[in-house]
Amino acid sequence: MGDFNSFLYLQDNYYGSSSISIGMKEFKECVVETELIDINSSGFHYTWTQKPKKGVGILKKIDRIMGNMQFITDFPSSYAIFQPYRVSDHTPCVLKLPSVARYRPRPFKFSSFITSKFGFLEAVEKGWKQEFKGYKMFCVVKKIRALKTPMRKLLLEQGNLHASVTSLRNELDEIQKEVDNNQGDESLREKEMTCLEKFKVASYDEECFLKQKAKIDWLNASNSNTAYFHNTVKCKNHRKRIKMIKNADGQVYEGEAVNDSLVTHYTNFLGVEQHVEPINADYLFTNVLDPHVAS
């Protein structure tokens, strides 16, 4: 973190030369080589200003706070703040490392790899046979919502996919070492085949899970590269966090106070429940489906 004396992207330079300099190329090569990314930040974009006596002056982003994947893994809630530069020509750069993250229940997300697991079709069939009263679309929504519980249970039964792959990989290594020392042992070869099949299934499940989570589907299933997907997911989760927000009154909130400010804003914005007069909608729609066709 600090002053790198060179901007990284063309949009980091305002009202100056738009050509790519040698220093910019070398800085880009350095960032790629060391696998660094910008830490999720708020505040000023342009961190250096050439204060002119007349005119606009030059603005550049040459101060950065960056980290590698190990840093993102160790400090997933970290964020940077670039504050006003006041009398200086550089903005103060502040890195914040929240030590404790409060647990929040995660929303339901369907993992597509469980469709190939034993019990999936039976759970869907059982859930779809449930009866609900109301409009057709309301019943469909209720049935889908009711499927959350069996889908969560089925996903939970699969265990930790990453830990399973690691455990099976280590077990397979040990078995193959034994096979190398006891070539004629048929029981070892059978044990190896069984472990290999389990490892292939677990690896494929992990890759499908990470592909879906990272929203990347261009890599073939045979081209396993789970480290790339891991890093993509970590980067995406890091960048989408909101660690600082300014409300309509101009007040700034950080950390856990962001949640309360959002709830307060929408509570006031959407208002409170009031009495609504019913309207006669019998002749509102002239083109309607026949009830039999709708069913």
pLDDT number for residue 209: 85
Q: Output the pLDDT for position 72.
A: 87
What is the per-residue pLDDT for 95? 92
DSSP structural state of residue 103: P
State which H helix or E strand residue 185 sits in.
Answer: none
Q: How far apart are CA 170 and CA 191, in angstroms?
A: 14
pLDDT given at position 93: 92
pLDDT at 17: 67
Task: Find, among 48, 45, 51, 57, the residue nearest to 11 by Cα.
Answer: 45
Positions in the chain short of pLDDT 50: 217, 220-222
| Residue 40 CB contacts under 8 Å (≥ 6 apart), including other chains | 78, 79, 80, 238, 239, 241, 243
CA-based radius of gyration for the chain: 28
Cβ-contact 175, 199 below 8 angstroms? no
pLDDT at 53: 63
Looking at residue 100, its pLDDT comes to 55
pLDDT given for residue 30 in this prediction: 92
Amino acid identity of residue 228, one-letter, is Y
Strand partners, 13: 60
Q: Is the model's pTM score more than 0.95?
A: no
